[in-house]
Amino acid sequence: MAADNENRKWAVRAQWCRWQADAIERTLTPRLEYASKCIAAISVEFLRDMARKSSEGAAH
């Protein structure tokens, strides 16, 4: 039971990170052409990485 709760926590965290990254990308896509590495683009990379790590945490 505790393992199920832990896996669910990681899965929810991964989904939240994906949603946040998707939302940022939707608002930034036109601007990314002009900015080589704006803070929002860095945020998207961070959130995608956190989603990947959270998904890995749920798998273990």
Do the Cβ atoms of 30 and 4 come closer than 8 Å?
no
Query: How many angstroms separate the CA atoms of 36 and 49, rounded?
Result: 19
Choose among 56, 59, 54: nearest CA to 10: 54
Choose among 32, 37, 57, 30: nearest CA to 15: 57
- Evaluate if residue 40 carries a pLDDT over 70: yes
Neighbouring C-beta atoms of residue 34, cutoff 10 Å: 7
- Evaluate if residue 31 carries a pLDDT over 60: no
Residue with tokens 């991964």: 14
What residue numbers bound the domain in which 50 lies? Answer: 2-59
Tally of domains within the chain: 1
Q: What's the predicted TM-score (pTM) here?
A: 0.63
